Amino acid sequence: MNAWLSAMDDAQRQAPEQDAQVRPVQSSFQFRYARTEIVARGGQAHVRHHEARYEDGRLVREECEGTLDPAAWERMVEENQRLFARQVESVLSLWSLPFGGWRR
């Protein structure tokens, strides 16, 4: 019985050394989610950014808030409106292609 107990004690003493040699399992699973909210009220634009990601086996969350310069807000709105107009024009031109050949 004493031999068995001493063997158990030896195993317990060696366990921390073995644990130090074990490497963490590398997961191929990755996750990232980001969201930015911009609210314009009273001549100011309030910005909130939320981000969550799974990396190195743990979930990391970040959040930040701030106020955007009104001129920057106006430039951003104008740029997005131009982008939207170009995308609509592109889609409408694709839909009109089958009918364009008949008019020639």
Q: Is the distance from CB of 31 to CB of 53 less than 8 angstroms?
A: yes
pTM, two decimals, is 0.49
User: Across residues 65-78, what is the average pLDDT?
Assistant: 89
What are the domain boundaries of the chain?
25-96
Q: What percent of the chain has pLDDT over 70?
A: 67
CATH architecture of 25-96: Single Sheet (2.20)
Q: What is the pLDDT of residue 7?
A: 53
Q: What is the pLDDT of residue 86?
A: 96
Q: What is the pLDDT of residues 9-48, one digit of tens each?
A: 555 555 555 555 655 556 677 889 999 998 888 878 899 9
Sheet holding 44-55, edge to edge: 31-41, 44-55, 58-68
